[in-house]
């Protein structure tokens, strides 16, 4: 069994439960869901990988919107430092994307 297989299956189940009837399918390493795009449902493909170099985490809070038990047994975590720093251009791209998605 490949590294991370059990964790990926657990995350898939969490996503299935979170999206309910908007969950579509799993195809290889992609999870397909649908979401409202301003009155029209569009498909979103989420790709799961197990990174070779994990990011560091701190046990402060969980900004996922899910109960901590959905992702962690004992502690809530968020990324605190990344091995690869995000550039100002990438931060601007993320901000613009979140604005367009209404997040």
Are 55 and 102 contained in the same domain?
yes
Are 59 and 94 contained in the same domain?
yes
Are 43 and 19 contained in the same domain?
yes
State how far the Cα of 51 lies from the Cα of 63, in Å rounded to an integer: 21
Q: Which residues pair with 37 in a beta bridge?
A: none
Question: Over the stretch 60-90, which tens digit does the pLDDT of each residue have?
Answer: 555 555 555 555 554 444 444 445 677 888 8
SS3 47: strand
SS3 73: coil
Closest CA to 72 of 7, 16, 24: 7
Are 67 and 42 contained in the same domain?
no
Check residue 81 and give its pLDDT.
47
Q: How many CA atoms lie within 13 A of 50 on its CB side?
A: 9
Question: Over the stretch 1-52, which tens digit does the pLDDT of each residue have?
Answer: 778 889 999 999 999 999 999 999 999 889 999 999 999 999 999 999 888 8
Residue numbers of the domain that contains 61? 51-103
- The position carrying tokens 């997040």 is 103
């Amino acid at each position: 069994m490949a590294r991370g297989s059990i964790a990926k299956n657990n995350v898939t189940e969490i996503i299935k439960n979170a999206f309910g009837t908007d969950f579509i399918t799993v195809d290889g390493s992609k999870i397909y869901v649908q979401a409202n795009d301003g009155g029209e449902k569009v498909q979103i493909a989420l790709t799961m990988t197990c990174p070779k170099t994990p990011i560091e985490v701190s046990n402060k809070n969980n900004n996922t919107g899910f109960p901590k038990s959905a992702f962690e047994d004992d502690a809530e975590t968020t990324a605190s430092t990344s091995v690869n720093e995000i550039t100002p251009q990438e931060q601007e791209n993320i901000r613009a994307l979140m604005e367009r998605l209404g997040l």
